[in-house]
Chain A
Amino acid sequence: NAGVTQTPKFRVLKTGQSMTLLCAQDMNHEYMYWYRQDPGMGLRLIHYSVGEGTTAKGEVPDGYNVSRLKKQNFLLGLESAAPSQTSVYFCASSYHLTGSDQPQHFGDGTRLSIL
């Protein structure tokens, strides 16, 4: 039961470097999400996707790009990393049933440090 898998689990970058975080889910979920978690801030939504080929901005999208080329994968990119992007990043996925309250299932997180 893999569920939601995030790669990598840890990464250290220098300011200005780029990288991509990978999220993969094996539950055939339509929706996928990227959050960041900072101390005292809870989780904040960066981007989300309601299906293959679609993406939308969340609460804090600046400095990030995403792609959903395959239903099971949701990529989060940092084109030019900044120290303010040091955070723990969580991916989540959920079913889509109109009017329903399907919970989001989370990955284990990626701890990213920008020096």
Chain B
Amino acid sequence: AQKVTQAQTEISVVEKEDVTLDCVYETRDTTYYLFWYKQPPSGELVFLIRRNSVDEQNEISGRYSWNFQKSTSSFNFTITASQVVDSAVYFCALKKVDSGYSTLTFGKGTMLLVSP
């Protein structure tokens, strides 16, 4: 069975602080994919990044960076110099690929509050 754990329910930071959101996953599959989604207060789900299990190269996109470590089954997300607009719920998700079908398992989310 697959499982995604986001142990941090809520994080509060002050603007310009760096913050890391943790994601730990469990899977028996050798091939899988990991995703991060953002859900701002308006409610929509916004795709941020995907990573496959083969490529452990870290990725940076502007103020966002992701650290994938297969040895510890973690896919952590760091926001550098946080801004108020970063306030949202962030979901980590694991994608199983089974016989060509794929379904997403979501973590319970981490609510990030960035205050001015």
Contact = CB atoms under 8 A, between A and B. Distances in A.
Interface of A: 31, 33, 35, 40-45, 48, 50, 56, 58, 88, 90, 92, 94, 96, 98-99, 101-109
A43 B97 contact: no
Contacts, number: 57
Given A31-B102, A45-B103, A48-B103, A109 B52 contact: no
B92 to A, nearest CB: 9
Given A41-B108, A42-B107, A42-B108, A98 B100 contact: yes
B52 A42 contact: no
B36 to A, nearest CB: 10
A104 B50 CA distance: 10
A104 B43 contact: no
Given A42-B91, A42-B109, A44-B106, A90 B45 contact: yes
Given A43-B91, A106-B45, A108-B43, A99 B104 contact: no
Interface string B75-116: 000000000000000010001010011111111110000000
A23 to B, nearest CB: 14
B31 interface: yes
Given A103-B50, A104-B104, 18 more contacts: A33-B104, A35-B106, A40-B9, A42-B106, A42-B109, A44-B106, A48-B103, A58-B103, A88-B43, A98-B100, A99-B97, A101-B50, A101-B51, A106-B47, A107-B44, A108-B43, A108-B44, A109-B45
Nearest to A107: B44
